[in-house]
Amino acid sequence: MPQILDGNRVRDEIMNDLKPRVAALAAHGRPPGLAVVLAGHDPGSEIYVRNKVRACQQLGIRSETLTPPDSVTTEELLGMVAELNARPEVDGILVQLPLPPRVDAKRVAAAIAPDKDVDGLHPCNIGNLVVGLPGLRACTPAGILELLKRYGIPIAGKRAVVVGRSDIVGKPVAFLLLHEHATVTMCHSRTAGLAAVCREADILVAAIGRPAMITGEYLAPGVTVIDVGMNRLDDRGEVERIFRNSPRKLAAFDKNRSVLVGDVDPFDVAEKAAAYSPVPGGVGLLTIAMLMSNTVASAERRAGAC
């Protein structure tokens, strides 16, 4: 049986490691502060932000949520970000995506002070990642590295294949793996011979956003698979096909009218991989934990600079 890379376990370890650091900051001045801007009423974003606020409460991080309406303009959001940049008690700023269609999301993201960019996606922080300088790292890629390291999965000298080239996951995780001395190949939907390239991987990171696209044809025996996909299936036929008429999954679908599946076929990965992160229960749990880690790190750096 393959080793399950349990996101619950690693998340709890990260959160426990952060508690004394938060307490030390609070004892010597103030706790870390995180501000989240949630524009509009996207249901998924609202759930995600509630989970972030809950994580702050668990650690003793001071959090606040700003909720401008759907009608907010780019200029108004830029003004809010400027005010948060200037407030000394705010160590981290996160503008939750997606933003309303009329808003220039790239301008807003670039307006966040790099030392408060706890999403790790400001061009300055991406540049620091590329050249190997210290800086805040994108949360999901940083969580992937934590998962591998805390389970003792060797990275140096290994062949890593990243499927997906997004600015949020694919590109940052490729550079993080490079800095850990892996040999990295980045692939995408237009890569010729994609399955053959994937079969060369010792570590395969699937972040292409297509349900169960990575089948057994793409997997070499003994590979470590990190499945970043979070695809919600609302078609019973698709659930039957992907989960091979699993009574448990079909019952879950009938109850909730949807189920989650990653980018990797759940049965093929269980047969071929030496280790893998499940969906749900894997990488997705680490994104908020790494957001908390970035917020604490930002507070520590800023406290040392004062």
The pLDDT tens digits of the residues spanning 274-286 come to 999 999 999 999 9
Q: Is residue 300 part of a domain?
A: no
Q: Is residue 299 part of a domain?
A: no
Percent of the chain surpassing pLDDT 90: 94
Looking at the structure, tell me whether residues 160 and 257 fall in a common domain: yes
Q: Which domain holds residue 49?
A: 29-113
Residue 226 pairs with which residues in a beta bridge?
A: 205, 277
Give the pLDDT of residue 259.
95
pLDDT digits (tens, 9 = 90+) for 24-57: 999 999 999 999 999 987 788 888 899 999 999 9
Tell me the pLDDT band of 255, cut-offs 50, 70 and 90: very high
- Is the pTM above the cut of 0.85? yes
> Residue 95 and residue 108: Cα distance in Å, rounded?
8
Looking at the structure, tell me whether residues 179 and 262 fall in a common domain: yes
Q: Is residue 225 part of a domain?
A: yes
Among 113, 131, 164, where does a domain finish? 113
Looking at the structure, tell me whether residues 150 and 248 fall in a common domain: yes
216 has a pLDDT exceeding 90: yes
Give the pLDDT of residue 47.
86
The residues that are catalytic are: 52, 96, 119
Q: How many domains does the chain have?
A: 2
Tell me the pLDDT band of 192, cut-offs 50, 70 and 90: very high
Looking at the structure, tell me whether residues 226 and 90 fall in a common domain: no
Using N-to-C axis directions, what is the helix angle for 7-27 and 286-305, rounded to 10°? 20
Looking at the structure, tell me whether residues 153 and 272 fall in a common domain: yes
Looking at the structure, tell me whether residues 151 and 108 fall in a common domain: no
Give the pLDDT of residue 304.
83
117 has a pLDDT exceeding 70: yes
> Residue 139 and residue 149: Cα distance in Å, rounded?
15
Residue 37 · residue 26 · CB < 8 Å: no
What would the mean pLDDT of 102-129 be, rounded to a whole number? 95
What would the mean pLDDT of 208-222 be, rounded to a whole number? 97
- 203-237 burial by CB neighbour count: b if 16+ within 10 A, else e? bbbbbbbebbbbeeebbeeebbbbbbbbbebeeee
Give the pLDDT of residue 83.
98
Residue 206 · residue 214 · CB < 8 Å: yes
pLDDT digits (tens, 9 = 90+) for 146-171: 999 999 999 999 999 999 999 999 99
Burial of 304 (0-12, 13-18, 19+ CB in 10 A): exposed
Integer CA distances (angstroms), 62 to 52, 227, 295, in order = 11, 32, 10
Give the pLDDT of residue 189.
87
Looking at the structure, tell me whether residues 274 and 156 fall in a common domain: yes
Q: Is residue 6 part of a domain?
A: no
What would the mean pLDDT of 93-115 be, rounded to a whole number? 94
Where residue 104 sits, what CATH number does that domain have?
3.40.50.10860
Looking at the structure, tell me whether residues 154 and 232 fall in a common domain: yes
Q: Is residue 302 part of a domain?
A: no
Among 49, 79, 113, where does a domain finish? 113
Looking at the structure, tell me whether residues 103 and 198 fall in a common domain: no
Single-letter amino acid code for the residue at 207: A
Helices (H) and strands (E) in the chain, counts: 12, 11
Residue 196 · residue 163 · CB < 8 Å: no
Sheet holding 62-66, edge to edge: 62-66, 33-37, 92-95
Tell me the pLDDT band of 306, cut-offs 50, 70 and 90: very low
Where residue 205 sits, what CATH number does that domain have?
3.40.50.720
Looking at the structure, tell me whether residues 90 and 149 fall in a common domain: no
Q: Is residue 306 part of a domain?
A: no
Q: Is residue 71 part of a domain?
A: yes
Give the pLDDT of residue 174.
98
Give the pLDDT of residue 223.
98
Residue 3 pairs with which residues in a beta bridge?
A: 275
CB atoms within 10 A of CB 66: 16
Backbone φ and ψ for 17, nearest 5 degrees, come out as -65, -30
More confident: 306 or 33: 33
Q: Is residue 169 part of a domain?
A: yes
> Residue 221 and residue 7: Cα distance in Å, rounded?
23
Looking at the structure, tell me whether residues 106 and 146 fall in a common domain: no
What would the mean pLDDT of 7-18 be, rounded to a whole number? 98
Looking at the structure, tell me whether residues 93 and 145 fall in a common domain: no
Largest pairwise CA distance in the chain: 60
What is the Cβ-side half-sphere exposure of residue 68, based on CA atoms within 13 angstroms?
20
305 has a pLDDT exceeding 70: no
